[in-house]
Structures are given as C-alpha cells and as structure tokens.
Structure 1
Amino acid sequence: MRRHTVTTAVANPRTGGSGGSTAVAARARQVVKAYGAGETRVVALDHVDVDIARGAFTAIMGPSGSGKSTLMHCMAGLDSVTSGQVWIGGTELSSLKEKKLTQLRRDKIGFIFQAFNLLPTLNALENITLPMDIAGRKPDREWLDRVVETVGLSGRLKHRPNQLSGGQQQRVAVARALAARPEIIFGDEPTGNLDSRAGAEVLGFLRNSVDELGQTIVMVTHDPVAASYADRVLYLADGRIVDEMQRPTAEAVLDRMKAFDTFGRVS
C-alpha cells in the first residue's frame, strides 16, 4: 500500500520570514483510525503523516467521508487513534491520561465549531473569557484587547448572543478561541452556518489572527473560497493525504476538487 507523507514546514508564505523552516505546532505519524472489526471494520484514517507549521493557516479538504474531520479530531485530542502518534508541540497525546489530556485541550488548543456554542445568559465578553474563568486563570488584558480589536467586537462586548447577528456570534467564538493564547486552533466548518458576507468577515478575522497575532489555525472546510484564505490546503481521499497546495486561490482549489469528482482522487 502506498503511504503518503506530507511533512513540509515552510515560512509563512503570506508574511515572508527568514526563509528557514518554521516550527511545527502539531504532527501526526502513521496515524490509523478504524471503527469496528472484521468484515465491518472501516478505516477512516490510513497511515497519515503530516506536520502543521506554526504561525500558518492550514485548510483540510476532501470528499464526504474522506476522513478530514476525523483527522482534525484526532490531532486535537478529541478522539483517540487506533495506532500511530499525534503531538501538540512536544507533547505526545496517546501517552496522556484523561485528566492531563483535558488540561492540554484547555490550555494549548482552541476550538471553533460550526455551531457557535455560546451561553445565552452571558454577554460577549463573558463568553470570550469563560474557558479561562473555568480554569481559574485571569486573561491577559492587553492580549484580550488586541483579540477583541482584531475580530471587530469592541462595540459589542456587553451584548448577549440574542442581540448579535450570526456573524457576530461566530466572531465571539473566534475571540474565545484566541483569548487564551492557545498553541493551535482547530476549526470544523467554522463558517458553515453563515451567509457569504458574514463568512468572509470571519475568515478575514482568522487570516488576521495568523498574520497579526501569530496564531496557528487548522480548518476543515468543503468551501473553496474559505480554503483560499489559508496558506496551505491538504487534500484527503479514502483516509489518506493525497495532495497539497500552497498559496491557494478559490479557482485553483475548485479545479483540484473537481479531480476528486472525476477520478475519485487527485491524480
């Protein structure tokens, strides 16, 4: 069986850099995720190797059932792997007991989901700082102010979710993920519930958080326009990484995706 390895770590292509290699924020080695056993066994991830460069925006794409969400969940410590290893920074996840894994997800990882997951009784600022409040940590006020400004929420902090548009609620979710200064943020179709204008605003804020705040973002998406905001696109098919694209455009991503429809995989 051919195994695909994508391990290139390069300087941020949108912001330049020294030209040397970029540190790796997360990596997977020979990751297999399977469900069931015997004749009913389904392999969702098939010996995946990948590095996620620090300070860059990576999009993960592929047909339905290709394993893209499974890969994100395994790399984020939300799901265990059947075999292989995953690291966040220098920490290997399978070696952690549940308490330590929960602590790592809380302290090192941010999440943005398609559903905003805001508490309706809290205002925007309280929703943003909630994870840190639960952890008993005080937010860095200077950083928090910078995050709020980056996502354009300065005038909405006292509003509750029902007083905000869908795009504004997702901005709150983005700010919540950024506020704790995680090592990496994972987004699962973060603009899937938004119209094109609100989605473009949120994607712009994610892009700015990489360029201006040095954040690392990994986003699963089916949308070529959303993927065009990334520095790099990884393509999955049948549980394997089969291709990647640097400096994507929406047109180039769409053309590449058509290859899946035509040939079942990227040629």
Structure 2
Amino acid sequence: MTADPFSSRPTPGIAASTTDLSKVYGSGDTRVVALDRVSVSFREAEFTAIMGPSGCGKSTLMHCAAGLDSVSSGSVRIGTTELGTLGDRHLTELRRDRIGFIFQAFNLLPTLTALENITLPLSIAGRRPDRQWLDRVVSMVGLAQRLDHRPGQLSGGQQQRVAVARALATRPAIVFGDEPTGNLDSRAGAEVLGFLRDSVRELGQTVVMVTHDPVAASYADRVVFLADGRLVDEMVRPTPDRVLDRMKQFDTRARTS
C-alpha cells in the first residue's frame, strides 16, 4: 500500500513556503531570471500582499508557490508537502483540494448558476459540499439572493464575489489571488478586498494576493516586496501611503540605474 503524499500535517503556523526558489526562462542570450533564490513563508490565517515593479516576478512567484508553474531550482511546500516530489496526478489533487485560486478575469462558466460555479471544484472532485461551511461563505460574500443567477446576470463585482466564494468553498489551506480586483471599479474592488479580509479574520483563511495597488495592499497584514526577481523588503500593518512611498523608491532606483 502506497503512502498518502498528503498525510503529513502542515508545519504549525506555515501554510506555504519557498526556499531558495529560482525560475529561469530561456538560455544563452535569451536567458531571463524571473526569480532569484527567493525564500518566503506565508503564515496561516494571515493576509499577505506581494508587490513590486512590473516584471519583478510577482505573478511568477505566486504561480510557482501555487504549483501552477514548475521551478528551476529550490523548493516549494504547501504545509510540509514538497511539491517537487509529487507526480502530475498528486499535484493536480493537491491544487484541487488544498489551494484556492482567484484570478483577475473571474473565470466563471457562463452556463452555470452562481451556486453551480461556487461548487464546481467540489463537483469535479466528486465531493459533496459541507453545507454549513458553504452557507457561511455565501453569507459572508453577500450572495444568498444571487445563487440562481448566471454570470451574465451579475455585475463584475458580483462575479468576483462568486469567484471568491468558489475559492473558499473547498476550505483550502491557502488562497492565491492574482490581481483579483484588477477588473473592478474602486467600490466593487473594496467590497471584494473586504471579503478576503473577513475570510482571514472570521474563517481563519490564509490569503496571498499579487497586486500593484497600494490601497489593495493595505487590506493585508503584511506586504512582501520583490525587485529584479529577489525579495527585498517586508512591511507589516501596511497603509496606502507607506506602501506608495516604498513603491516610489523602486521608481527612483529605476530612473537612476
């Protein structure tokens, strides 16, 4: 009987981590180092924002940490599970069962209702939703009166609420968001960020979000900053002004380099 690769319990306090993570694209004259020995941990029940200048490796870090992209060297763990030791099938199962995703483009199926979109990952896995948990998530994101609506009948903000609920429905170890408010106006974006904040405070969820917006980053417990593929700074209890001042330093350095 083979061992269950997911049987080990997560390291207390750490939902995901990378150690000396590097990602290189191409070779020779076309070689690009997207990530350069990045070591970072994402603590349980904490909201972390990843920021930095365009092309610094933010989305690459998230994609590697979430098992969506392979790494060139170093390691990635979800809890104590080393992703590099998993075959394709077990990696797919881990992403399905222990990771939630929220993307800028919503990625909802237009022929399904809001409820069907929310429970789709569970349906694919052949699992029945935990009704109490699902009701709690739906209530938190304010969708109780919209569950029978299809995406085309919902506003952009409501569609992203569905995407947030879908990410939370499986009770994942960690939720990754790639510019989750990038397609929303400021009001709808604030609502979605508020729901993510509430999921951390009320549900004990772990959230990691890539963003370029200092206001969005201010909803997080901490911000980690990348530059040229390296982790260069960290800020706890961020405010929009403090984050903006730190980002301006990147712009100044870019102009003088």
Q: TM-score, normalised by structure 1?
A: 0.90
Deviation at 1:38, TM superposition (A): 1.8
CA distance in 2, matches of 1:39, 1:175: 44
AA aligned to 1:226 is: A
Q: Considering only aligned residues, what root-mean-square deviation do their CA atoms show, in Å?
A: 1.2
1:157 to 117, 139, 147: 147
Structure 2: how far apart are the matches of 1:65 and 1:22? 33
- Give the AA of the match of 1:147: V
Specify every segment of 5 or more residues in structure 1 that has no aligned partner in the other structure, as ranges.
1-20
> Secondary structure in 1 aligned to 2:119?
helix
Structure 1 equivalent of residue 166 of structure 2? 176
- Equivalent position of 1:7 in the other structure: none
What secondary structure sits across from 2:84 in the alignment?
A: helix
Offset at 1:195? 0.3
- Partner SS state of residue 40, structure 2: strand
Aligned to 2:56: 66
Runs of at least 4 residues of structure 1 off by over 3 A?
none
Matched, 1:241 2:231: yes
Q: Which amino acid aligns with 2:142?
A: G
Is structure 2 residue 108 aligned with structure 1 residue 108?
no
Q: Distance in 2 between matches of 1:214 and 1:169?
A: 23
Q: Deviations over 1:115-152 (max 9, x none)?
A: 01111111100100011001000000000000001111
Q: Does 1:228 align with 2:225?
A: no
Aligned to 2:4: none
1:58-207 counterparts in 2 under 5 A?
58-207=48-197
Q: CA deviation at 1:39?
A: 2.3
1:22 to 1:259, Cα distance in 2 relative to 1, 3 A: farther
Match of 2:16, SS?
Answer: strand
Q: How far apart are residue 263 of structure 1 and its match?
A: 1.5
User: Counterpart of 2:40 in structure 1: which amino acid?
Assistant: V
Distance between the aligned counterparts of 2:246 and 2:54, measured in 1?
15
One-letter amino acid of the structure 2 residue matched with residue 106 of structure 1: R
Aligned to 1:40: 30
What is the TM-score when the length of structure 2 is the normalising length?
A: 0.94
Q: 2:17 aligns with which of 21, 27, 36?
A: 27
3-state SS, counterpart of residue 59 of structure 1: strand
Q: CA deviation at 1:37?
A: 1.1
Per the TM alignment, residue 44 of structure 1 is displaced from its structure 2 partner at its CA by: 0.3
Q: Which residue of 1 aligns with 2:205?
A: 215
* Aligned residues between the structures: 245
The structural deviation recorded for 1:22 is: 6.5
Percentage of pairs with the same residue: 75
- CA displacement, residues 31-57 of structure 1 (integer Å, 9 cap, x when unaligned): 110011122211000000101111000
Counterpart position of 1:18: none
Task: Find the aligned partners of 1:55 and 1:257 in 2 and give their Cα distance.
Answer: 26
